[in-house]
Amino acid sequence: MKTMKPRRVLPLVLVAALMVLTFSACESASTGSNPSTNENAASTSNTPEIDTNGKYQKPVTMTWAVQTAAASKLLDNETWEDNRWSRLIKDKLNIDLQVAFSADSSTDAYKNKLNAVIASGDLPDIFKTQDANVFLQLAQNGQLADLTDVYNKYASDSLKEYQKRFPDSFKGATVNGKLYAIPRMNDNFHEAPFLWIREDWLKNTNSQPPKTIEEMVALAEKFATGDPDGNGINGDTYGLALNKDLIRQNHGSILGLVSAFGVPGRDESMFYRDENAKMTFAWIQPNMKAALSLLADMYKKGLINKEFTSKDESALVEDITSGKIGMAYGSNWGTWYPYNNVYKKDGVIVHPYSIPTESGYDYKIGIESNAVGQMTMVSADFKHPEAAINILNLYDQTVNYSTKEDYLKYWADEQYRLSPVFIDQPGEVYAADLLEAFDKGSSDGLPPAAKPLYDYIAGFENGSLAKDDNAFGTWGQMSRSGSLPIVLNKYIPDKAIVQSILGIQRPDEWLTNVASLDTLTITAFTNIITGAKPVDYFDTFVQQWLKAGGQQTLDELDKMYPAK
């Protein structure tokens, strides 16, 4: 990749510095200051004594930032400070884990807290971000440990195989030829959207899953004006859910709907070359007018939840769980969350379907570059960066190459989140392998980490694991009727997948203006959908976007990622 010049601290951190004032000292008091600072400062050796299994002769303290979320689970009276992973890591590696801070990553809480911590300069020893801009800025400002040598020295052969399997991911974690993070080891095909529908509402309204946008609207009308939940009251439900962030990869986004109109939508990062090889951006496509017009009409008719402008993901999930929502566009993990809540509460399956298409348009699915995704970083001030690699080795051995009992204890029920560093390689990458295994009726030959997934799906389908959260989640994702086979068997063969060109290289203009451009987009789309602005206001929005740094970003990207 191109050599990058060191940059000044970017506006994101400058803004975050002001935010520090809003975080009172009480959280610092509750979590304590960085407990490893003195210990690390006192260390005079960069070659700690470690045995062949990665265990330190003397205890090492590591602080970490915890990403909590509704999907996270603490079992058996465990805590984030004292749990199966903290005890395993202490026992096997002699590393004492201490929580630097914790915050909800399903809302903006974690992002805001991390921004404040970055501004303060008191980084945890190990922490994560999904924001490529944050990662890039920290690497360029010398705040991250260079993991190149410790990875080469301490990574197991198994870990190094992941580097071969997911080269784009590792390239995205590399700046100026140096590895500054443990990347999400994945192929982002799993980011494709689907239409999730309550099976009981389909049955109650004598309906079939919609294949076209026209059929989707008709179904939304049945759900919104009839009595799909069977409570004897017409019109107390909504047909299609939206959440206020609209363009995020959350449940209730517009990503699947706009895809039907040939717009490969994907948050604020979807840059690509069109059929004429011209650099462009998803949200300024002319076809957006038709999609927004449809949404505005649905909103006016009451088919969309009127309060969506105040519904973040957690609020929307409450509506889904309480049985107010019949249909929503969303991501592949729906049976893990939030539709597991519906299944546990009502015994009802909310099922994923291929997005309905619109006549006259070739549908397009937008996904991120494989070079971006969640990054696990180590502070440059931490004296034992190799500890992160040793934990990763332990994770890989315990989860992917040990016993089924270990897999169930340390991975299942979201328990992998208790480890400060893990291979963020979701089971999605095994979707094709699992389909082949089910076709032949045997798990023989599957990779070790895929065999439990096979057992979960088989157990859910034969009823033996009908009440198991892991089985339900895996089944809805990777069974033959799950979400990911839709990508493998339809989206990809239809050549509908469009991958963003935006890797780890980011134009200064975009880094400076991305937050304001993002807000501009969501505000404009919200105003059009709710009727506060006419559909033709979209043309004004496009001009505003181009003038506010969008056009310069396109020009810079055209040079940074030249056409092949």
Measured in residues, the chain has a length of 564
Give the C-alpha separation, 552 to 330, whole Å: 32
- What is the separation of C-alpha 146 from the centre of its chain, rounded to a whole number of angstroms? 25
Within 10 angstroms of residue 274's Cβ, the number of other Cβ atoms is 10
Provide DSSP, 160-200. Answer: HHHHHH-HHHHHHTEETTEE-SB---S-GGGG--EEEEEHH
How does pLDDT run across 61-102, given as a tens digit for each residue?
Answer: 999 999 998 778 899 999 999 999 999 999 999 999 999 999
Closest of 23, 115, 110 to residue 66, by C-alpha: 110
As beta bridge partners, residue 198 has 350
Please tell me the distance from the alpha carbon of residue 64 to that of residue 80, in angstroms, as a whole number. 10
Structure tokens at 392: 């990763």
CA distance 462 to 16: 51
Quote the CA–CA distance of 166 and 127 in Å, as a whole number. Answer: 21
pLDDT, position 24? 37
With beta carbons less than 8 A apart as the criterion, state whether 110 and 67 touch: yes
* pLDDT of the residue at 402: 86
pLDDT tens string 485-516: 999 999 999 999 999 999 888 898 998 999 99
* Other C-beta atoms lying within 10 Å of the C-beta of residue 464: 12
**Which tokens is 456 given?**
């979960």
Q: How far is CA 507 from the centre of its chain?
A: 23
List, for the chain, all residue ranges whose pLDDT scores fall below the cut of 50. Answer: 1-45
CB contact burial 167-203 (16+ within 10 A = b; e otherwise)? ebbbbbbbbeeebbbbbbbbbbbbbbbbbbbbebbbe
**What pLDDT score does 4 carry?**
37
Sign of the CA dihedral with 313 first, then 133, 499, and 281 last: positive
pLDDT value at residue 425: 63
What dihedral do alpha carbons 25, 107, 110, 127 form, nearest 10°? 160
Residue 77: left if φ>0, alpha if ψ -120 to 50, beta else—which one? left
Q: What pLDDT is stored for residue 70 in this prediction?
A: 75
Q: What is the pTM of this model?
A: 0.80
Largest CA distance in the chain: 73
